[in-house]
Structure 1
Amino acid sequence: MDEGESEPVPRTQQLCRYYSQGRHCNFGKRCKFLHVRDDTRSLTGPVPPNLPAPAEDVGYWSPPTNNSRFAPAGALRPCRYFVAGHCSMEDRCRFWHPPQLPLLDDQPVPGNHTRAAPMIQPVSRPSALQEVKLGDMTEDVTKKLRDTEITQLKKRFPKDRLIIQERSDGKFTYYRATVEATDPDWPFDLKEIDIMVSFPENYPQEIFTLDIPLDQDLPAVMSKHVQQASLEWLQAKHATNQLLGKVELLFRPFLRWLDRSLERLFTEGARQLKKDIDLEKAGLQFITYQELQATATERSESASDAADADEDDGNVAESENTEGEKSVQQESPDGDDRQQQEEASHLVENIKISDPRRGTEVKLLGLRLGENTATVAAQQITVCLQCNRCKVTADLTLNGRTPCAAQCDKCNASINAAFRPCMLHHYSDVLGYLDLHNATPADLVLQECELNVGCLSCSQEGPVQNLLYGQTKELNCEHCHSKLSILAESTRFQYIPPRTNKTGSSDVHFKTIRDPAVQKGKPLPEKGTCKHFKQSHRWLRFPCCGRTYPCDVCHDEHQDHPMELATRMLCGYCAKEQPYGNGKPCISCGSMMTRGTRTSHWEGGLGCRNKVKMSKNDRQKYANSNKTVSRKAAGEKK
């Protein structure tokens, strides 16, 4: 041995009592005792002296990647369930999952140490966790993997939770299993769901079929949603395995994914169910784009069949009529066919652009319609717009037919606006959508809006005007004289981001898109103050014109009509519209919108007048405290 080389540490020393008991050793590889577990020594025999020391102390050694004939010192013993063919813990197992069991024969090793006879013989049955390359798949391997999956399915579910059904032709066998949620904080009353699977002949080269039966307590809408989401996950998983060039048994991973995602799927399905119930109550029906497209295709096919039948009839009639009559009979079917195809294509085009949720949404908060009030539609609205460049506000009247173009009075910036009305009813409070350029909405002048109200009794519509915020507008139907009523508390503007196409381009043609000037939950501009009143953090809504201004002086500067006392106001800290109240905090955020009347100072008698609670900086606190009092007056007080 060279002088520069250090003498190797002998392996015949005493075991580390911490490491051998499965505990953590603070010294790590610097420990002078041997890091070998007792159970490993009993399984593998004496430790060869030439085995390398562990790289770091991690509690146990990781399994070797080579096909060593000896288990490494300090490694965990092989998992007996994995050796038998199946371990339910899989990657989370504390024991070693070898790719193949080492052959522990009685063979001499360096150091005159011998190996004991193997305690566990290797098993040749295929493992469920074994990854098979796509190029190594044969009919025998496919059949073994399919049989393994079916066997594990039968072992996983007890007899009372598994039903096996076979088709009459014997091609497919269906397995109906009951899956229960394992989440201890499961929020729903229904904890079980039945699934029906079938494994094709070439499984796992293709995914198994999955179906959620409808003959259970789960609603049909939620069943379809769970089934669709499960199929999408299976297809994505199978496509990923094909890209990686391997084949995997997907049933157990699918069960784990379903257990983790079942709460989310139930929640989304419940939302869809609530949406369908609300539409049914409103007398509406939701039809998906795929169903409409299929309907249009069926109509076009039926029209083409009818055209072919008419053409055959025309050919029969050709021999009996003149040439002029022939041309008429041959042209009419083609014209009908073309007309029906145009109608079908026009229907599909309308469905593609039928989604109006773009631009700025105008929503009436606190909308309440009377019992006989069916619908409300806006024919014309007046919106207070704010210029994005100079922040000057101006009123603009819009209808749902033509867009409007204007210029700012201060900076001459071009402003374009368009309004797309929607129908208000008991389950929708959206008045319409605004498409704006170089402007943001500040307020909706509801008093100058022209609305049409539909009566539920006679299904007729009538106009309504002079609608005020916070006041119930009552009127009678012009046809059946039924009592109608409308109430709106406030208006909210919400900008909806544009949807991007697959190519990445958006549907918005303007780049200067900003948030609305007045948003609920955010402060007003300058927190509602003005140059006249710096301590007033609110906007007042005056009933004479229905507009909002910070104070009465601002109202008189912008309007030429006599002012009426305000009945409603907007909080300058959260933009919450509420009834007028002087000296009262906001009903939403609790902030004081005006300067408080009760302070710690005298303020001429309007503030605090209790000398105990009064501020020491106020001279009224100690006023008349040192005044001389006569004995007669002092005696009278006593």
Structure 2
Amino acid sequence: MVNSEEERMEEGGLEGVTPAQQLCRFFSQGRHCNFGKKCKFLHVRDDGKAHEKETVSTSYPAASVGHRPSPVRRPCRYFIAGHCTMEDRCRFWHPPQLALLDDQPVPGNQTRAEQRIQPVPHPSVLQEVKLSDMTEDIAKQLRDTEISQLKKRFPKDQLIIQERSDGKVTYYRATVKATDPDWPFDLKEIDIMVSFPDNYPQEIFTLDIPLDQDLPSVMARHVQQASLEWLQAKHATNQLMGKVELLFRPFLRWLDRSLERLFTEGARQLKKDIDLEKAGLQFIPYQELQATVSETSEPASDAAAADRDEDIEMTQEEGKLVQQENLGGDEGTEKEETSHLVENIKISNPRRGTEVKLLGLMLGENTATVVAPQITVSLQCNRCKVTADLTLTGRTPCSAQCENCTTSISAAFRPCMLHHYSDVLGYLDLQNTTAVDLVLQECELTVGCLSCSQEGPVQNLAYGQTKEFNCENCHTKLSILAESTKFHYIQPRTNKTGSSGVSYKTLRDPAVQKGKPLPEKGTCKHFKQSHRWLRFPCCGRTYPCDVCHDENQDHPMELATRMICGFCAKEQPYGNGKPCVSCGGMMTRGTYTSHWEGGRGCRNKAKMSRNDRQKYANSNKTVSRKAAAEKK
């Protein structure tokens, strides 16, 4: 607070001097006076140093002509914003021309700081526009801006401009170098080729990775695919936000940050293809197979054409991985070799019967192939619905009788090769029975190693658990993971006469199909409210409850670690009281009342909620004295 005039004069020691002749002690000391221009004392400073600073400050702009200003004498941001409490004692520069604004009236609702801070005009470049404001002129301006920035971004030795013969499309080939100082690869640059359509940036620019460079074709395709996915995602995001943005410079920043990751992923794919080639396997794209079939096949009937298309779809679904035979010398052309491989696919892998797939299959980096010479499968009788286990091999079919109804049952297994591009374990030929579950823990598998091309046996593989082991020959680390099993019945094909040669009495879908409920919705006679099957790790089999396990097995039961939903047959980790991760259904009865529900509720009326209708039940009922006495 500022003292009165008399007190200030007494403190200053100037008795008898009028206030107009007295200096303001706040202003003279370099402090801020709250009265400002309304102060009755003089706002004058006789300090020599302050006068020198004022002189230097006033003469600074003229003296600094042709010289670079010192960093210490840069303008004071507080003074420019409106007020600096240090006044002349501030070590930063207070421009004198801004002080004249204090004597001028502030127009409208504009503050003093807003009046002082005037935006400096800079030549701005148009980078993004609202989608609603987009016109042809703005789109053309954005496109020209992008092209000019592209030409300024790359020097002449790193940019090649090519025009098509018709002159409508111009291609820009630029060399992008990695800026990471810890770049791990020998190849430090990549060539990209872009072209901007006429309606750019309303649609993304085209991007190609030329193959005439040191980058392998597999890595180039991977980089191009990942870049196109990023551009499409960025363009879709801008469309949702209602704006149009120039994407080339953001793409260069993303490519610079992600180039090491893209090169690493592409190198892994290249290594995988090289290892497959060493193992005698060849990867043929689906387009090449389709073109070869269309060229080499003769005109056939509609039924034959449908069968051929189904074979091609089968090849695409199973991963397009075919086994290559050693051809001596230079016999045959490349088309004949590809045609021969297609014929091998049709003959060696007939899709019939019940297909057995391992869902969520993940093979280690050095795991090449997996083959099951012997499996144990749970089969259900079509007549009496009794389930029994049967061990099958890929050499001979197996015949048995149902223990309950003595129905003759026959089953045969045709194994297939599991690899990184196929999850089909094999095919089952069943009669009078259906497949329920694959006991993976009792199956015998043979695993091939990519490092040494040798095979070794593997046992005790469990669902949902990664099986890690070492190769017996080169001791390379191998691993296998499978989440669940899927059985899919393939409808038999009909020949030209219309007969399939298979008895329709034996055609039945598998008992367990993903997306469909389990038999009896997973319940049993012991638990009617439990809609799930439990997979016990002691034997690897599924039963509705532990009692059913003890009735069918002779070994001690271990707590289940996985379960199958009774509403959608989705196998998942065990969770008590949690809904299904696929359909969201409650597999156990999880709703309870607060009053009394199997011992989980409350019957004490003092502790019950006042919103519970059972709290005040029979509280107003009239009771006779005789009944009250008998109750006592």
| TM-score over 0.5 for the pair | no
Which TM-score applies when normalising by structure 2? 0.45
Which TM-score applies when normalising by structure 1? 0.45
